[in-house]
Structure 1
């Protein structure tokens, strides 16, 4: 596995030593377990229609514990674990219902409670041990994957489910974990997990389902023997700075359309509380100056330019209604950017501040002066500095749009 392409000197071999830190945990394991927890109520609006939040689930998975790697990443992350897991979460205990209130405008309350049903997720995971000794291992884990919801929002039969707006959802998870060896093959692992599924603003509703789920897993190692201590050469790393330019296109739906059809449309209208929403394209350019100060980390500052033509649609709709808000299809910001690398892949997180942005009368309600971006990037070694990225831009952790892009660094 090669170091992700950067404007850095070529890696030099034989300068560092890569060694297995522990012989206790064997390389390959299968597991099964349970989760019991609660769906979180994120704000006052959600609190008004949440009735109950109990959640439970089961999962089955496979993990591969890293032994050593000559590129140095395994040692830098203290020999992490990679896994694939199938999760089945039962959210039938999560109930939502809007009771009669003038806050709902023209929406007529229904006589039943809505629920997300079950959510099936296929996820990849990365577990980094922070502490390993004797029979114990502790660390953190990250998950990313695809989810399927059995009971998304539906006007006819699930009208108050604002958590999941479609069958197909994006899954993200993060946890703190501890594992204990029981005997030669068996071990027990506990995670204090946070899990999120949503459609990334590609459809409505887009409240998203956020849950805290303590999880217990029973693990069985497939290997008969532990791995002995080994020493192998690994590539050296040289610090350095680089530029990156990127372009991406994204898709989103409008919260304005959701609020209009939910609360400002007559029950006799065909669009009343509809589940069909138009998707709008967005685009953006990025120019970043990054500093790779460690094999696994780079941090820097960048400028973002956004093109959001849907703002013209909002202007044409809202100005005749008396809106005095400002409108512009262009906006820009400056962002602090951090990236974590493992081989040819990296995960990024950005925290940005708008320098200018005018998106109409809902801007102060739905947006903040700052924005976040998270995603993953692939740096194919044969592409000579080119990269492909997939991510989500958000305000207060609520998706603004989902994007796919390319980049070039030098």
Structure 2
């Protein structure tokens, strides 16, 4: 869905900070048991083992030093190291580093119920190789993106010690950068311990007025992106994918921006694809595309979780569906300059990972 260390800095970026005191720490160690979800028949021969793993993590409790802490009921920000043994020589092992946000839904001095969402990078020891490991249709590159979702219940067993049980889903994929790329989905159960530096947690008093200064204001985003993708397992060349976008937006609440705009795309992998499938080399359609989109940004200080839905209105070579989706992370380095990492998708299938830079006017 890389960069775990960089994302840690993103989550820590300030937004009109009122206080400088850091929140208390939570340190955890969990055992994990999983199975491989056979989401397509092409990976059914690999969905037979039961991977097991170990996670070590460090969480910082937000404490109200920034306005968005209170808006989201004081979530935790964490960094995790995750190891998996797939108990299958075709798949081998994986090592991941992720950054995550842990949002609580129920809380008392002894109990917590949290939902965790995270992303990062994973390294797989045994990716697909046409000559030596052709059965691995799940993972085709050493480096993959990670998406984590889980529900966690923590109950106090001592003054600073909590017992944690949870259910989750880990998804690994390289975003079609290399193929085959069916990805791996691991429904997982967790059991472990958390050390709480402070329990119960008492947040700082919120400021009298934490209304964002740009609430109700319009803005313009101009951006461009680059990405790379592979056509197939037999064509090992990486093709450049480029886009430009002009988006208008408005901050409609403390947590939300709404967006609408236009985009243009040039996917160079479509040029050889078109030549391979066309009956004649004359009068070939244009592979460039243009689309219109609507979108939403969920705001966490300088960081935003981005979701887009777009429709192609210029699409002479119909290599995909008439619509596309996008999910990603966007970070404002300054009030004007931002960067983003997005996953562009066609009907649930990854198209390309986009590395984006832009300006806000």
Q: TM-score, normalised by structure 1?
A: 0.77
Aligned to 1:244: 221
Partner of 1:231: 205
Mapped pair 1:56 → 2:56? no
Q: Which protein has greater RCO, CA pairs closer than 8 Å, 6+ apart?
A: 1
Tell me how far apart the structure 2 counterparts of residues 169 and 409 of structure 1 sit (CA, whole Å). 30
2:87 and 2:286 mapped to 1: Cα distance?
43
Distance 2:266 2:245 in 1: 12
Q: How does 1:292-303 map to 2 (within 5 A)?
A: 292-303=251-262
Question: Which residue of the partner structure matches residue 9 of structure 2?
Answer: none
> Pick from 197, 217, 223: which aligns with 1:222?
197
Tell me if 1:380 matches 2:333.
Answer: yes
Deviation, structure 1 residue 145? 0.8
Please give the alpha-carbon distance, in whole angstroms, between the structure 2 residues aligned to 1:213 and 1:357: 41
Confirm whether residue 67 of structure 1 aligns to residue 67 of structure 2: no
Structure 2 residues not aligned, in runs of 5+: 1-12
8 A Cα contact 2:291 2:311, kept in partner:
yes
Matched, 1:34 2:9: no
Q: Which deviations, in whole Å up to 9, do the C-alpha atoms of 1:158-178 show, x marking residues without a partner?
A: 211011101111111112222
Give the 5 Å matches for 1:329-368.
329-359=287-317, 363=319, 367-368=320-321
1:102 paired residue number: none
1:154 is matched with which residue: 106, 112, 129? 129
Matches within 5 A, 1:115-194: 115-194=90-169
Distance 1:304 1:338 in 2: 16
Q: What do the CA deviations read for 1:60-109 (whole angstroms, capped 9, x no partner)?
A: 1111111121x31100111010111110011124xxxxxxxxxxxxxxxx
Contact 2:70–2:206 at 8 Å: present in 1 too?
Answer: no
Q: Which residue is 1:397 aligned to?
A: 348
Aligned to 1:271: none
Q: Take 1:133 and 1:323, find their aligned partners in 2: how far apart are those partners?
A: 69
Q: Is the 8 A contact 1:86 1:123 kept in 2?
A: yes
Aligned residue for 2:140, secondary structure, equals coil
Q: Deviations over 1:196-240 (max 9, x none)?
A: 1111211122111111112223101235x6554642426422333
2:79 & 2:182 partners in 1: Cα distance?
Answer: 27
Give the conservation status (yes or no) of the 8 Å contact 2:83–2:93: yes
Q: Helix, strand or coil: the match of 2:148?
A: strand
Aligned position for 2:79: 84
Distance 2:272 2:131 in 1: 29
- Does the 8 Å CA contact 1:326/1:358 hold for their aligned counterparts? no
1:188 to 1:280, Cα distance in 2 relative to 1, 3 A: same
Structure 1 SS opposite 2:276:
helix
Q: Does 1:205 align with 2:158?
A: no
The CA distance in 1 between the partners of 2:150 and 2:136, in whole Å, is 26
- Structure 2 contact 122–143 (Cα < 8 Å) conserved: yes
For 1:146 and 1:314, how far apart are their aligned partners in 2?
30
Structure whose CA Rg is larger: 1
**1:394–1:326 Cα change, 3 Å:** farther
Query: Across the two proteins, how many residue pairs are aligned to each other?
Result: 343
Q: Give the aligned partner of residue 371 of structure 1.
A: 324
Q: CA deviation at 1:119?
A: 0.8
Q: Distance in 1 between matches of 2:30 and 2:75?
A: 20
* Cα displacement (A) at 1:242: 2.0
Contact 1:311 1:328 (C-alpha < 8 Å) held by counterparts = no
1:37-70 C-alpha deviation (Å, 9 max, x unpaired): 22112234444x445142221111111111121x
Task: Give the TM-score of the pair, scaled to structure 2.
Answer: 0.86
Bigger shift: residues 126-135 or 56-65: 126-135
For residues 190 and 359 of structure 1, what CA distance do their matches in structure 2 show? 50
Deviation at 1:128, TM superposition (A): 1.0
Change (3 A) 1:2 1:218: closer
CA RMSD of aligned residues (A): 2.6
SS of aligned partner of 1:161? coil
CA distance in 2, matches of 1:176, 1:298: 27
